Structure 1
Amino acid sequence: MLLIRPPGVYRPQGDTELLVSCVRRERLDGDSRVLDLCTGTGAVALAAAHEGARVTAVDLSARAVATAWLNARLHRSGIRLRRGDLLAPVTAGTFDLITANPPYVPAARTRRGHGRGLAWDAGPDGRLVLDRICREAPPRLARGGVLLVVQSSLADVPATLAALGAAGLRTAVTARRRQAFGPVMTARAALFERLGLISPGDRWEILVVVRGVRER
């Protein structure tokens, strides 16, 4: 899929591809309501819209929202764009599918980064945004609704499964991919070793998509 991506907007990578593949396996049609969090270029939102769903996409970055708008125009898609912090701009309604490719890279700082770092910095354990999604997204799912979240194995996948299970969702890892570190992860490899997240010399991670379903 051709996408516009200006500097400062997260480039679709292996995690985006993995999440898109899971979106395409969901049963979506013209009645499906989809919310895409941390939309970036809008790649995941566009995949859902291509299946006919009514899609709302949200990002904290004004540049990302503008980019997703341009890509929606490029692909003649009627995605609704909102700028804001996770579910804050979407104050009402429930969704049949909520997707998220949030920041999940462990960082030395305890707060989220700025500029380009906003797309990946997620605190020392990588869960600064993941934990919020696990709390805030389940109540916004319709009966039978699905939550799809992509993350790295370095950001405690069992914690995501446990948190979503505690929120009443039936959870499972529905997709996974082993991949070598990219530039951001490679630059932080020494930090990951100090934190005990990888063994000395390891330079790979496992990306997973966690699927949570709200029972009917």
Structure 2
Amino acid sequence: MTTYLPPLPHDTLPPTRVRRPVLRLPGTYPAQGDTFLLARTAVGRDAVAGRDLLDVGTGGGTLAVTAARAGARSVTAVDISWRSVLTARLNGLVHRASLTVRHGDLFAPVAGRRFDVVLANPPYVPAATDRLPRHRPGRSWDAGRDGRAVIDRICDGIGDVLAPDGRLLMVHSVLAGEEATLDRLRDRGFEASVVARADEPFGPVMRARAQVLRERGLLGADQVHEELVVVEAFR
């Protein structure tokens, strides 16, 4: 059975050697602070070694490779982008990490399977419209006007892929609503809490969108950082 640890102090996450991808095909979003926070949290909370793990929305494969090298029993990674799938496979080979990387939308490629741990770093940046990009780089970060288009789908579908004693660890910005995530998971029968936080300087996407988000009241006038949270959920 999985042993659930008490939340780590938000500013004392243990150091973890994150396996940064060395290859990245054009159009694949590079791993940034949110990915590294989630990787450190998962390893620090003893959620990886000896577990069957799913990395949904793997991108270049940073989380998947880190999990494999940290002792996961098996690692399956999924992404809707073929470029990301190929990048993750290549990085698995380069790092000599045993990965199964599948193409598809969220949990569809693993329907019928159950995992001890699911890691998710979904798109969460509030966008101008609720129409999600399909074939542009923006699909790696655009998540509808409230930033929850993919987060809500993960909350709604996670029960179909978690083992009875499994857990979800998902990272996103507080701009997408941490309480909304906790409430949605709890409404679906999960215990849910924030187990890690970090302030992250704005990257290129947030810098480009900051003025619009300020006009919508989502950012302060002088705000140049966003707060990231890792949400943990289990039955």
Q: What TM-score, normalized to structure 2? A: 0.87
**Aligned pair in 2 of structure 1 residues 206, 2: CA closer, same or farther (>3 Å)?**
closer
Query: Cα distance, 1:2 vs. partner?
Result: 4.3
The question of 1:24 aligning with 2:43 is answered yes
Percent identity for Structure 1 against Structure 2: 47
Q: Match for residue 89 of structure 1?
A: 109
More divergent stretch after superposition (135-144 vs 147-156): 135-144
Q: Match for residue 151 of structure 1?
A: 172
Q: Match for residue 69 of structure 1?
A: 89
Partner Cα separation in structure 1 for residue 109 and residue 64 of structure 2: 16
Partner Cα separation in structure 2 for residue 57 and residue 37 of structure 1: 6
The question of 1:111 aligning with 2:127 is answered no
Partner Cα separation in structure 2 for residue 111 and residue 56 of structure 1: 29
Q: Contact 1:23–1:47 at 8 Å: present in 2 too?
A: no
Partner Cα separation in structure 2 for residue 180 and residue 52 of structure 1: 31
Query: Cα distance, 1:9 vs. partner?
Result: 0.6
Matched letter for residue 10 of structure 1: Y
Partner Cα separation in structure 2 for residue 72 and residue 112 of structure 1: 29
Query: Cα distance, 1:202 vs. partner?
Result: 1.7
Matched letter for residue 112 of structure 1: L
Query: Cα distance, 1:18 vs. partner?
Result: 0.2
Q: Match for residue 57 of structure 2?
A: 38
Deviations 1:169-192 (A, max 9, x none): 111111111122111101111211
**Aligned pair in 2 of structure 1 residues 205, 27: CA closer, same or farther (>3 Å)?**
closer
Partner Cα separation in structure 2 for residue 22 and residue 90 of structure 1: 24
Query: Cα distance, 1:29 vs. partner?
Result: 3.5
**Aligned pair in 2 of structure 1 residues 199, 46: CA closer, same or farther (>3 Å)?**
same
Q: Match for residue 26 of structure 2?
A: 7
Deviations 1:28-82 (A, max 9, x none): 344x211110100111111211122201100000000000000001111221011
Partner Cα separation in structure 2 for residue 45 and residue 166 of structure 1: 29
Q: Match for residue 133 of structure 1?
A: 154
Q: Contact 1:38–1:102 at 8 Å: present in 2 too?
A: yes
Partner Cα separation in structure 2 for residue 208 and residue 147 of structure 1: 13
More divergent stretch after superposition (190-199 vs 121-130): 190-199
Q: Match for residue 213 of structure 1?
A: 234
Query: Cα distance, 1:101 vs. partner?
Result: 0.5
The question of 1:198 aligning with 2:216 is answered no
More divergent stretch after superposition (63-72 vs 19-28): 19-28
Partner Cα separation in structure 1 for residue 76 and residue 191 of structure 2: 24
More divergent stretch after superposition (115-124 vs 1-10): 1-10
Q: Contact 1:37–1:98 at 8 Å: present in 2 too?
A: yes
Q: Which runs of 5+ in 2 are unaligned?
A: 1-18
Query: Cα distance, 1:201 vs. partner?
Result: 2.7
Deviations 1:80-116 (A, max 9, x none): 0110000011111211000101000011021212321
Partner Cα separation in structure 2 for residue 106 and residue 41 of structure 1: 22
Aligned Cα root-mean-square deviation (Å): 1.2
Partner Cα separation in structure 2 for residue 125 and residue 172 of structure 1: 20
Query: Cα distance, 1:27 vs. partner?
Result: 4.0
Matched letter for residue 174 of structure 1: V
Partner Cα separation in structure 2 for residue 85 and residue 68 of structure 1: 16
Q: Which runs of 5+ in 1 are unaligned?
A: none
Runs of 4+ deviating beyond 4 Å: none
SS in structure 2 at match of 1:24 = helix
Partner Cα separation in structure 1 for residue 47 and residue 39 of structure 2: 13
Matched letter for residue 189 of structure 2: G
